[in-house]
Amino acid sequence: MNASEFSPRVSADTFGRALWDPAAETPTGLVGPDGKTAPKRFNVYRNNVVASLSEALEQSFPAVGRLLGEDYFKALARAFVAEHPPRSPVLMWYGAEFGGFIERFPPLQAYPYLADVARVEWAWLEAYHSADALPLDPAEIGAVAPDEIGNIRFEKHPASCVFRSEWPIWDLVRANRFDPDANIEIDLEKPQSVLITRPELEVELMLLRPGGDVFLSALFDGGTLAEAAAAASSQVEEFSLSDTLSDCLANGVFTTLVKA
Of the listed ranges 2-11, 30-39, 99-108, 244-253, the one predicted with least confidence: 2-11
pTM of the predicted protein model: 0.86
**Residue 149 pLDDT class (50, 70, 90 cuts):** very high
Q: What are residue 153's phi and psi, to 5 degrees? A: -125, 165
**Which pLDDT score, from 0 to 100, does residue 32 have?**
65
Same domain membership, residue 193 and residue 127: yes
**Residue 88 pLDDT class (50, 70, 90 cuts):** confident
Task: Give the whole-angstrom CA distance, residue 232 versus residue 71.
Answer: 43
- Domain span holding position 49: 7-96
Helix axes 241-250, 212-220, angle to 10 degrees: 60
Query: Contact, 31 vs 38, CB < 8 A?
Result: yes
Look at residues 71, 96, 121 and tell me which one is the last residue of a structural domain. 96
**Which pLDDT score, from 0 to 100, does residue 37 have?**
63
Same domain membership, residue 144 and residue 256: yes
**Which pLDDT score, from 0 to 100, does residue 34 have?**
67
Same domain membership, residue 246 and residue 121: yes
- Using a pLDDT cut of 70, give the percent of the chain over it: 83
241 inside domain = yes
CB-count burial class (<10 Å; 0-12, 13-18, 19+) for 195: buried
2 inside domain = no
Task: Give the whole-angstrom CA distance, residue 19 versus residue 42.
Answer: 8
13 inside domain = yes
- Residue closest to 135 by CA, chosen among 8, 2, 254, 259: 254
Look at residues 69, 96, 123 and tell me which one is the last residue of a structural domain. 96
Same domain membership, residue 232 and residue 142: yes
Judged against a pLDDT cut of 70, whether residue 20 lies above it is answered with: no
Which letter does DSSP use for residue 161 in this model? E
The type of residue at 69 is G
For residues 200 and 105, the model is more confident at: 105
Same domain membership, residue 22 and residue 135: no
**Which pLDDT score, from 0 to 100, does residue 1 have?**
44
145 inside domain = yes
Judged against a pLDDT cut of 90, whether residue 153 lies above it is answered with: yes
**Residue 117 pLDDT class (50, 70, 90 cuts):** very high
Judged against a pLDDT cut of 80, whether residue 18 lies above it is answered with: no
Same domain membership, residue 258 and residue 197: yes
Same domain membership, residue 158 and residue 45: no
Judged against a pLDDT cut of 80, whether residue 7 lies above it is answered with: no
Helices (DSSP H) in 108-209: which residue ranges? 113-128, 139-142, 169-173
Q: What are residue 111's phi and psi, to 5 degrees? A: -125, 65
Reading phi first (left if > 0) and then psi (alpha if -120 to 50, else beta), residue 69 is in left
Task: Give the whole-angstrom CA distance, residue 248 versus residue 200.
Answer: 14
Same domain membership, residue 125 and residue 88: no
- Average pLDDT over the chain, rounded to whole? 89
176 inside domain = yes
Same domain membership, residue 171 and residue 88: no
Helix (H), strand (E) at residue 197? strand 193-197
Task: Give the whole-angstrom CA distance, residue 245 versus residue 219.
Answer: 11
Same domain membership, residue 177 and residue 55: no
Look at residues 30, 65, 96 and tell me which one is the last residue of a structural domain. 96
The total of structural domains in the chain comes to: 2
Helix (H), strand (E) at residue 194? strand 193-197
